[in-house]
Amino acid sequence: MLLLTGATGFIGGAILQALPSNKVKVLGRSRPENGSSIFVASEIKTGIDYSHALVDVNVIIHSAARAHIMNDTAEEPLEAFREVNSLGTLNLACQAAKAGVSRFIFISTVKVNGERTEKDKPFRFNNPSMPEDAYGISKSEAEFGLRALSKQTGMEVVIIRSPLVYGPGVKANFAAMMKLASKNLPLPLGAIHNKRSLVALDNLVDLIVTCIDHPKAANETFLVSDDQDVSTTELLNKMTVAAGKKPWLIPVPMKLIQLGAAVLGKKAVADRLCGNLQVDISHTKEVLGWTPPIMLEQGLARCFQKKES
């Protein structure tokens, strides 16, 4: 039996759809729309007893988390992230090890590695952790604790770090870019020569499912992407095509965009548009014999197909 957390979320919901319902328990605050799996009402935090949920479970996929929040209103953001992502995760994992769970799959984030890379110098799976925000720190602390727990108990731990995940139902910045692509407005973003790694939801889920029983996944850290890095300009062009429009981007030099954004107090926005964030998934492919099943263009097309249907 497999236990899934975060099944009502963007990633967790897609994982649930990929799994046979008769072999899955779902642990969460609310029952997912796909109610055919066994549901256990609970949440991820300290002080909760999960013994009733762990009966007959041999693998856990832990996708529940306090998500990265752009404008966090918590008085102590780091402590709020820690309560769920670090301490709550380790509370579940410690009880899982005692209950005899054989493998714990932790859905982490590339923010554990850091916020940016130099162009064509991607993060690797064994680079030191250098998180910069509360979300990344909390995930890094969870990874550290899970590795220590694995050494103490023998429970296998699999850590999967993803960059930005996109797919049907995606929200936040990527959804805003989809709206821009659909409107096909003339934008001064036609000469951005950065490189960023993304991962289609289908590709991430496929890797997670692969790690459920792959013998070589035990106690490994995997980076994941579409293995198809793109610039912001390339991404917007591909999104516009996926939306059924002809790309129309004006080639304004990247330095001018950054300067203008700084003057307007939007430096962080320019950093996201113009900066590099790449991951090297060669370790993932070599260890697991895995390759992303769909390409970027297919993933983008699915975003718009779902949106329009």
What are phi and psi for residue 21, nearest 5 degrees?
-60, -25
DSSP-derived letter for residue 22 is G
Identify the residue whose tokens are 């932790």.
Answer: 106
In sequence order, what E strands does the chain have? 2-5, 24-28, 38-41, 59-62, 103-109, 156-162, 164-166, 198-200, 221-223
Q: In sequence order, which ranges of 100-160 are alpha helices (DSSP H)? A: 134-153
Q: In sequence order, which ranges of 58-130 are alpha helices (DSSP H)? A: 77-81, 89-99
Given 135, 166, 222, 290, the catalytic residue: 135
In angstroms, the CA 275 to CA 298 distance is: 24
**135 an active-site residue?**
yes
Contact 240, 177 (CB under 8 A): no
Q: Which residues are designated catalytic?
A: 135
